A and B are shown apart, each in its own frame.
Chain A
Amino acid sequence: MPKTTRFDTLTLHAGARPDPATGARATPIYQSASFVFRDSDHAAALFNMERAGHVYSRISNPTCAVLEERISALEDGVGAIAVASGQAALHLAIVTLMGAGSHIVASRSLYGGSHNLLDFTLPRFGIETTFVDPRDLDAWRAAIRPTTRLLFGETLGNPGLEVLDIPRVTELAHAHGLPLLVDSTFTTPYLIRPFEHGADLVYHSATKFLSGHGVVIGGLLVDGGRFDWDEAGKSAGKFPTLTAPYAGFHDMVFAEESTTAGFLLRARREGIRDFGACMAPMTAFQILQGIETLPLRMQRHVDNTRRIVAFLAAHEMVESVGYPELPDHPDRALAKQLLPRGCGAVFSFSIRGTRDQGRKFIESLRIFSHLANVGDAKSLVIHPASTTHFRVSAEDLRAAGITEGTIRLSVGLEDAEDLIEDLSRALHAAGKA
């Protein structure tokens, strides 16, 4: 049998070796903007992709490279690029694949920032998006146009936790010669590896569960390496950024340069080079530290979440709880199939009563922190309608399952009993308000 290294070991070791210069066991933070050339020929060869190595930390950096290999190993991809944020990862994926006149079909249940980029910002640059109900495969199909270049969704929709049917959406995408990009921020590779279900590109806001402690902003874009960017009769002609000579890099044809990693090459040689949203090496180090404990943390996140979900679902002040493992969630069966380890630690619920009672609930919490983030070791709470989704129209809010009473929790690693007592106390206060 093949000797393959298992997931938990990869979280600690993939991409890293003891430092050959010093013997340091931890990955060093290569806090250097640039790297010395051996001679003029070496310099020219590095610039022209004839030799492997680092030139300038906007393009690549040794600490970031360890992180890029690690997430690739965990996702079972061919490679990755570390970028400044999750939003930078989404932007890099899109601009690597398409330009003005192109079209995206996206789930309507997205993080508010992603929705904003697609709905308001990218149209200014000639890229249009059609939003669809992620559960409606016919809607995905109907939205595809001749100019469509990408299908995009989140493993777990935000904030309704719609489970993206990656196998079926992928099948549809590939039938049209299109790739599927998946935001797996809520799930991490511990809960699902989208490439195993057919997705072609995956990105993370590593700010969340991957780093895990709410101390950095970073993004990771991973290439599965399976998509054929030049398949006759399907994708051929749709992705000239990858299949036609690029004057900006000596007429390189990226998909010919590497059969598996052409997308990554273009993203690094153009996207990071020209748009410049790179990750700092200190950030990469901190995310690596987080990933080292990813399996332990994610399991605890899920265990705590399950207990809190059960508590809330039985509470008289709670109108509804949206978690895909609950019997009334429409994606329960799909979640069982795609997310057997659990559906993450971010979910929403609605409390009965007025908006003021909702505010009283949030302001009565003592352990849960009221802020705009998820995936911290500490438990967090927010009111989506007035914060993360405040730019979204009322109609789209309803479509995404968000009401005035919707509260989103990100369950941390505290003792679950303390979290339940905190929630119980706040619900009681809201009930009396």
Chain B
Amino acid sequence: MTMIDERPDELPETANPELERRAERRESWRGFLHAVPAYVYLIFFFVLPLGIVFVFSFASRGRTGRPNLEGWNVDGWTRLTDPLVSTIVGRSLFVAVVNTALCLIIGYAFAYWIATRPKQSTRTLLLILVLIPFWSNFLVRTYAWRMLLDSDGYITQLGELTGLWGRTLFTLPAVFLGLLYGYLPFMVLPLYAAIERIDWSLVEAGRDLYASGTRAFLKITLPLSRPGIIAGSILVFIPSLGAYVTPDILGGAKTTLLGNFIVTQFGAARNWPFGSALSGAILIVMLLATILYFRSGARTV
């Protein structure tokens, strides 16, 4: 953007390099001032809290479970290798990876279908239909599955009628179902944004050069939708890794995930330093994902 001052009579002089430099400095100062309130707020209520998680992960456990900074140690972090803990971490990673893959496969076919509808109005309408559940209360959406999967729920009745499944509530499949249901829209929206932007004449050109439909898809469509795949995968993977509400409502004792385990450390187990170390581990994964996101140039929003 060109720099234009309130005093237009000074304009012709901007050819002067000194004045130009000063104008640029003033411009950058203005930009900084616009950001300052949000910047300060986020440093105070996001960056510093993020830092304190790492500090407290090395603290010792005080009498009430609260961190005591005096006897600092690495117990919280070494406990991550404890068999019980690593089982939970492993399970959480497994659940997050599988859920991301499921959302990607189902979401891709879905987003592709919406993005390839010929009429703009149809596309808009279908997209609105995706947005509604996306905006609807997450808790209510999870609660709905608790109703359906309980002993007298419709899904259970259907399973018993066909003899295919029994009550699935409080099991891992129930958690998967809840996570897929909860996070699918997070995958569909960035995928749709990426696929809709594809220049289809490139695909046609590939087909004209005798590429098969599958080959054209793998070599042209799929690479062109990469930004959406990366953005959607991050938006599903990270929240799945720290999921708490879904496994809490739909899962049982054998499906404890990292999110539930962390909450327990701040509740019944009263071990804040260990809870901090577990949160720190998730934060490291998140920071790596953020770097990947920026490096890949996948930013669509």
A and B: interacting chains: no
A interface with B by C-beta (< 8 Å): none
